[in-house]
Amino acid sequence: MKLLKGLTVLLVVTLIAFFAAGCGGKSPQQSSETPKGGESSEPAKEVVIGYTGPLSGVGAQYGQDCLNGIDMAINDINEAGGITVNGQKYLFKLEKLDDMIDPTQAVNNARRFRDQYNAPAVFNPVFNTIGPIMEINQEPGNEFIVMAYSSTPKIDELNNELTVSIPPPFTAYCHAFSDVAWQQGWRKAAMVMTLGAYGDEWREAFKEYWVHELGGELTADQPANYYTETDFSSQLTAALAGKPDVLAIGGPSSSTGLVIEQARTLGFKGGFILIDQAKMDYIVDEVFGGSTDLMENVIGVAAVADVPTDMAPVFDKRYGEKYKVHNTWEAVLNYSAMHALARAMEEAGTVEDVRAIRAAFSKVFPLTGDKYPAECFGIKEIGRMLFPATVQMIKNGKYQEVNSYIYWTKTEEELNKVKEKMTTSNPVKMMPLENYID
């Protein structure tokens, strides 16, 4: 009996030792070797990306469009296996907070992302809140990258080393739209643009280019509050008194549609230039129920689905099915920007060193149309991503061909280098902007 008990104890001890050793070998977590390809067999770690923006109030839909693009990119990246940095797998998690375009709340949200989640990057889509966030994102020991979705060139003038500006500067659109209008033979313009800092910048830029560069006439400047007003008849009546060939208008797309409808009701038969905030395809589909009857001779940012990349219509379909809303450039460009951020982390070999990640952005381009809905060809030292300004016109009831304007080149040789990287065949035009040319 004692011999039997002794053998039993010995067997138990042996089995414990055997399993403690991982059944005679190391478990995946214990292995000192990494699998082929340099990837660790350890479970994926998490990287939090922050988003602060308007998710309620007057800018809620705009903020949600931006958020959807980031969310879709993160889902696609994670479903493809995430990113690998120094052999370690990482998956992304998106944390969102509503700031209602309040600068103080936006700054508090950004600090929370950094302090609570150690987020290396925070997305924000409104210059009124981007500016204050850029005042804190370079604090020693608390640095983070600001992923800024705003077309105002003032962002570039702030010289923030940890900011990435996503869309083309609105000056590129201002010049391109004006050139198209000029080609139509229009010489007299009136403005009924949105109030606020962004609208003020647009009006000043339009006036400078239309009057002082092209030599056109500006017959009226009648700003309106596109966020609170629904009746624009007084401003339009004053603007139309000068008999303009074209009205330069815009703010949120829904309100812009009302301005177009009311201008037509007042008898205006001329053209419209839409500032880049307003999207012609959204107005056609969501405001006018798919009809272009009131949209004749409208010039604006190209319809997303018409951008001639292989992925644009694919993305448009997927986006509509997933979020049940109209696709927008806000979604498209934030989607691409999130992919660029993820690739920069891989290039930098870190998910934490934000200065190394920001420096690595220059290595991740081009983003080509066979993989992304919009093509991007680099990033300026000041942080502006180089998406072409895509322009389109509605004429004879139909969307016309999309034109891509390249604003960061000044010679044919430089332009041809960009064309060599493009996967699209739409017309490409060079339109140098002083702050962006090489």
Rounded to the nearest integer, the mean pLDDT of the chain is 90
pLDDT in tens, 221-279: 999 999 889 999 999 999 999 999 999 999 999 999 999 999 999 999 999 999 999 99
Query: In 172-199, which positions are buried (b, 16+ CB within 10 angstroms) versus exposed (e)?
Result: bbbbbbbbbbbeeebebbbbbbbbbebb
pLDDT score recorded for residue 334: 98
Lowest-confidence pick of 21-30, 179-188, 357-366: 21-30
Q: Which pLDDT band, with edges at 50, 70 and 90, does 34 fall under? A: very low
Report the C-alpha gap between 434 and 312 in whole angstroms: 30
Does the pLDDT value for residue 420 go beyond 60? yes
Does the pLDDT value for residue 12 go beyond 80? no
Report the C-alpha gap between 15 and 21 in whole angstroms: 10
Q: Average of pLDDT values for 390-418?
A: 96
- 341 Cβ contact list (under 8 Å, min separation 6): 49, 121, 145, 147, 164, 357, 361
Q: Rounded to 5 degrees, what are φ and ψ at 149?
A: -100, 85
Q: Which domains does the chain have, with CATH numbers?
A: 45-168+310-363 (3.40.50.2300), 171-309+389-430 (3.40.50.2300)
Does the pLDDT value for residue 30 go beyond 80? no
Tokens standing for 105?
Answer: 């709340």
CB 383 within 8 A of CB 160: yes
416 versus 435: the higher-pLDDT residue is: 416
Q: Which pLDDT band, with edges at 50, 70 and 90, does 58 fall under? A: confident
Q: Average of pLDDT values for 405-418?
A: 96
Does the pLDDT value for residue 166 go beyond 70? yes
CB 243 within 8 A of CB 231: no
pLDDT score recorded for residue 6: 40
Does the pLDDT value for residue 410 go beyond 50? yes
pLDDT score recorded for residue 308: 85
Q: Average of pLDDT values for 297-309?
A: 94
pLDDT score recorded for residue 279: 95
Does the pLDDT value for residue 23 go beyond 70? no
Q: Average of pLDDT values for 416-421?
A: 94
DSSP 241: T
pLDDT in tens, 113-143: 999 999 999 999 999 999 999 999 999 999 9
Rounded to a whole number of angstroms, the distance between the first and last alpha carbons of the chain is 91
pLDDT score recorded for residue 57: 87
The pLDDT > 70 percentage for the chain reads 91
pTM: predicted TM-score of the whole model, two decimal places: 0.88
Q: Average of pLDDT values for 388-405?
A: 96
pLDDT score recorded for residue 435: 85
What's the angle, vertex CA 174, arms to CA 170 and CA 178, rounded to 5?
Answer: 165
Does the pLDDT value for residue 19 go beyond 80? no
pLDDT in tens, 68-112: 999 999 999 999 999 999 999 999 999 999 999 999 999 999 999
Q: Residue 189 forms beta bridges with which residues?
A: 218, 246
Q: Tell me the residue type at 39.
A: E
Q: Which pLDDT band, with edges at 50, 70 and 90, does 194 fall under? A: very high
Does the pLDDT value for residue 393 go beyond 60? yes
Q: Which pLDDT band, with edges at 50, 70 and 90, does 41 fall under? A: low
